[in-house]
Amino acid sequence: MPLVTIIETGIVSPRNRERHGSYPQMFERMIGAADASVTFDTVSIPAGEPLPDIGGLEAILITGSSAGVYDDFDWIAPLEAFVRAANQSKVPMVGVCFGHQLIAQALGGTARKSEKGWGLGRHVYDVAAGNGLIDGRHIALACSHQDQVITPPAGATTILSSDFTPYAGLLYAGGTTLSVQAHPEFSVGFAQACCEMVRSKGDAPNLEPQVARLGRFFGRLLEHG
């Protein structure tokens, strides 16, 4: 029975957590729907829990966060060291959004706040042919980010890309580490909540088209699921 260790790096607000769950719970729902035999263990960085020893871990998943990988938090450097050790030990590892940026930075790339501004709602990404993981030519996923990977690490292969996010999905040298900028774990409700949160801050005033496209997209998925 596979065990996925989820490294929780961000906390969903109490209101949204009650409605949509925590980031680990979102991933548990998504992965559990695909394989009910998978079990989970969560290590919460915001709660002050220590990172586990790499030895004995079967798989690692690093969540999103409101933090930036460039922030001066005392847990960033230890998490980067953890990522390097896991990658070197070939422990299967996936990073999403913040996790994507953190893995890229830890392995020698660069991530920062993008001058393009917010990526929100439903974004369509080109899928690199023959990547061995994701089929098809395009994939549409929910996203919510200002930061991006600007320069991927040496040896990383870009498997998802768009004009807005050129390095939206990276498969790293060795083939056991994968990271993506978008949020496959988001429900339509939580993705819309993220849009509303940005709107409330005045950072992205014209969100109506993005919310509408996101709603239509998830509606079609439910119709054909």
Indicate the DSSP class of residue 107.
Answer: T
* Count of CB atoms situated within 10 Å of the CB of 174: 10
> What is the percent of the chain with per-residue pLDDT over 70, rounded to a whole number?
86
Whole-model pTM: value is 0.85
How many angstroms separate the CA atoms of 61 and 12, rounded?
A: 17
What is the β-pairing status of strands 93-96 and 119-127?
A: unpaired
pLDDT band at 206 (very low <50, low <70, confident <90, very high): very low
What would the pLDDT profile of 102-147 be if each residue is shown by its tens digit?
A: 999 999 999 999 888 877 778 899 999 999 998 999 998 988 888 9
> Which residues on neighbouring strands pair with residue 142, listed in sequence order?
122, 183
How many angstroms separate the CA atoms of 128 and 136, rounded?
A: 9
What would the pLDDT profile of 6-33 be if each residue is shown by its tens digit?
A: 999 999 888 878 888 899 999 999 999 9
Q: What is the pLDDT of residue 53?
A: 96
The pLDDT of residue 223 is above 60: no
pLDDT band at 199 (very low <50, low <70, confident <90, very high): low
Domain ranges of the chain: 3-224
How many angstroms separate the CA atoms of 69 and 13, rounded?
A: 20
Given CATH 3.30.300.30, say whether it is the number of domain 3-224.
Answer: no
Catalytic residue numbers read: 97, 183, 185
With H, G, I as helix, E, B as strand and everything else as coil, classify residue 52: coil
pLDDT band at 203 (very low <50, low <70, confident <90, very high): low
- The H-assigned helical ranges of the chain are 14-20, 23-34, 76-88, 98-106, 188-200, 208-224
Query: Considering just the CA atoms, what is the radius of gyration of the chain in Å?
Result: 17
Burial of 152 (0-12, 13-18, 19+ CB in 10 A): buried
Task: Using alpha carbons, select from 94, 101, 157, 151 the residue that is nearest to residue 131.
Answer: 157
What would the pLDDT profile of 208-220 be if each residue is shown by its tens digit?
A: 444 444 444 444 4
The pLDDT of residue 200 is above 70: no
Q: What is the pLDDT of residue 31?
A: 92
What would the pLDDT profile of 30-70 be if each residue is shown by its tens digit?
A: 999 999 999 999 999 999 999 999 998 999 999 999 899 99
Q: What is the pLDDT of residue 201?
A: 63
Indicate the DSSP class of residue 184.
Answer: T
